[in-house]
């Protein structure tokens, strides 16, 4: 039976155009910082990639910092600002459904003397902007709200959050790892001051990402050394990985919004409802949700056990088994999903290679299970 990949939110395959760009960049082996004939081609590749990312976001190229991925970009945004302004003077507002690459840096900064306020989400996984407004204090120095959640796909009201942040003169960061290439991520529309990108979520390889930082916003580097990336991240840039991310961002401009993928996602959901009726529930916002993401709970089942019985389907679960007990993900907990419903959660995320035949095959295999 054909293996079926429904885990694009976890990682995407490298697109052929991205692979070709990487292959071409391999010949430019010089150091991009070297002012000679070998370094110049590498520098041009890096700067062309930076321009492509800037074009996607609608920002200036010098506002783009290359990183090793989305986690580093998030860490640089939070820790970089806290260290630049003084950790003891830092108060961060974030949400209960952020990726660990946000929540863990917040916890780290708290150990150093910072304070953090975590605002709740409703049953659909979205925040109430009024909760954000109430969480702001005189010493609030940063707000970080993810653009869309990786598990349930719910899209946050980032533009409204940005208006609130601007009213108080507070920088706003958003983790856009899941939204680039799926929905619009123009800085002018979102109104954010920092934005994180992860290459392997947009058909580039793992190990490369970027952070948009609005001009004039000062961050302390996490990696110190030479003056790479205009002194914001030391370490010789990889022309190969930069070329990959730049090409992936150019591709993302062609992809968003993912209307064809949305149709497949909706066909998948309709098929599940036809086969399971009230025994399957949708997790996440019914409308304000990533076009490729379908998180559902199979009532009376355990997500991990369900997928174990279907080894040809690659998908993710919303619970984890520990010594015979089942624990819901922090996201489902924050949404108020009951343990009875949450243990059966499975996330199916679609991508460029997903076909209607694959969706039908997955539905047929799921239909064989006694749930």
Q: Which residues are catalytic?
A: 321
Pair type for strands 4-5 and 313-314: parallel
Q: Is 217 helix (H, G, I), strand (E, B) or coil?
A: coil
- CB-based contacts of 179: which residues, under 8 Å, 6+ apart? 147, 148, 155, 185, 290
Rounded Cα–Cα distance for residues 173 and 76 (Å): 11
**Residue 113 near residue 89 (C-beta atoms within 8 A):** no
- CB-based contacts of 328: which residues, under 8 Å, 6+ apart? 318, 319, 337, 339, 342, 343, 345
Q: Is 75 helix (H, G, I), strand (E, B) or coil?
A: helix
Rounded Cα–Cα distance for residues 82 and 114 (Å): 8
**Residue 327 near residue 319 (C-beta atoms within 8 A):** yes
| Secondary structure (DSSP) of 138-160 | TTEEEEE--SB-TTT-BBP-HHH
**Residue 200 near residue 69 (C-beta atoms within 8 A):** yes
- To the nearest 10 degrees (0 to 180), the angle between helices 259-276 and 356-367 is 20
Number of helices followed by number of strands (H, E) in the chain:
13, 15
Task: Return the closest-CA partner of residue 136 out of 108, 111, 164.
Answer: 164
């Amino acid at each position: 039976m054909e293996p079926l990949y429904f885990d694009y939110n976890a990682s995407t395959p490298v697109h052929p155009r991205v692979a070709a760009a990487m292959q071409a960049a391999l010949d430019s082996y010089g150091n991009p910082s070297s002012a000679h004939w070998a370094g110049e081609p590498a520098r041009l590749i890096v700067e062309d990639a930076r321009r492509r990312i800037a074009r996607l976001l609608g920002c200036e190229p010098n506002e783009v910092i290359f990183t090793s991925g989305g986690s580093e970009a998030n860490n640089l945004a939070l820790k970089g600002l806290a260290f630049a302004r003084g950790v003891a003077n830092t108060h961060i507002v974030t949400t209960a459904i952020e990726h660990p690459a946000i929540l863990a840096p917040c916890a780290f900064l708290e150990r150093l003397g910072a304070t953090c306020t975590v605002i709740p989400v409703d049953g659909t996984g979205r925040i109430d902007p009024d909760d954000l407004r109430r969480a702001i204090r005189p010493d609030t120095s940063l707000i970080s709200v993810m653009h869309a959640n990786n598990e349930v796909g719910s899209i946050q009201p980032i533009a409204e959050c940005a208006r609130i942040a601007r009213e108080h003169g507070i920088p706003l960061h958003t983790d856009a790892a899941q939204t680039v290439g799926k929905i619009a991520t123009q800085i002018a529309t979102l109104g954010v001051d920092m934005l994180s990108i992860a290459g392997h979520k947009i058909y580039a390889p793992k190990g490369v990402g970027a952070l948009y930082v609005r001009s004039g916003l000062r961050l302390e580097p996490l990696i110190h050394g030479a003056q790479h990336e205009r002194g914001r991240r030391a370490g010789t840039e990889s022309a190969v990985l930069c070329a990959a991310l730049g090409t992936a961002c150019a591709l993302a401009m062609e992809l968003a919004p993912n209307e064809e993928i949305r149709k497949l996602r909706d066909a998948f959901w309709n098929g599940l409802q036809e086969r399971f009726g009230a025994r399957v529930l949708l997790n996440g916002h019914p409308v304000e949700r990533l076009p490729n993401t379908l998180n559902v709970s199979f009532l009376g089942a355990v997500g991990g056990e369900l997928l174990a019985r279907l080894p040809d389907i690659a998908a993710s679960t919303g619970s984890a088994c520990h010594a015979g007990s089942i624990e819901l993900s922090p996201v489902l907990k924050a949404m108020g999903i009951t343990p009875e419903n949450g243990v059966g959660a499975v996330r199916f995320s679609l991508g460029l290679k997903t076909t209607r035949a694959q969706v039908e095959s997955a539905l047929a295999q799921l239909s064989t299970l006694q749930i």
